[in-house]
Amino acid sequence: MNNAIQINEHLTTTGQVIPKQLEQAIQEGFKSVLNLRSPDELGFSQNEQQTAEALGLHYTNIPLKLEALNEELITNILTTLEQIPKPAVVHCAAGMRSTGIALLSIAIQEGLTPEQTLAKARKLGFGFFDEVKFYPRLKQLFVDYVTKHARVAV
């Protein structure tokens, strides 16, 4: 898929997808789409679920608005992400929320520290958490969530 970032063999993130990209997703072996956009966002595709399901993709939409982001919502999204068929495409408008969620998922599963997770984000080209002036609350929530929920690697 164009403009997609493969986080690992199970998760790929991207910005808003169009029908052609959903067709590509099927051809590339993806089984699910997790849409983190809210229906009231500009550019939300009203037909995405219908298109995805017609192609045979499992489709889930859990709106993730940054101003409403909290631990409960993150846990709900991560639980859903764990349960949907893989490999999965996780998307939002520009790929920031979807990549953040995918990185949280990996951090929890692999027992990564916040520092290791942020390093992984930078390695993938997503250093947006370093821009503290833009998203200080988001970065702090991310760090706190990883610290609290990461399974300690033994």
> What's the domain range around 142?
5-149
Residue in 20, 78, 24, 27 with CA at minimum distance from that of residue 45: 20
Does residue 33 lie within any of the structural domains? Answer: yes
pLDDT digits (tens, 9 = 90+) for 98-125: 998 999 999 999 999 988 988 988 888 8
Asked if 90 and 81 count as a contact pair (C-beta separation under 8 A), the reply is yes
Residue 130 inside a domain? The answer is yes
In a domain, 62, yes or no: yes
Spacing of C-alpha 77 from chain mean position: 9
Instruction: Indicate whether 30 belongs to any domain.
Output: yes
Find the distance separating the first CA and the last CA of the chain, reported in whole Å. 36
pLDDT at 128: 64
Say which residues have a Cβ less than 8 Å from residue 69's Cβ, sequence separation at least 6. 138, 141
Q: Which residue has the higher pLDDT, 70 or 1?
A: 70
pTM, two decimal places: 0.91
* Per-residue pLDDT, 154: 42
User: What local confidence, expressed as pLDDT, does residue 57 receive?
Assistant: 99
Q: What is the pLDDT of residues 71-107, one digit of tens each?
A: 999 999 999 999 999 999 999 999 888 998 999 999 9
Structure tokens at 103: 């990185």
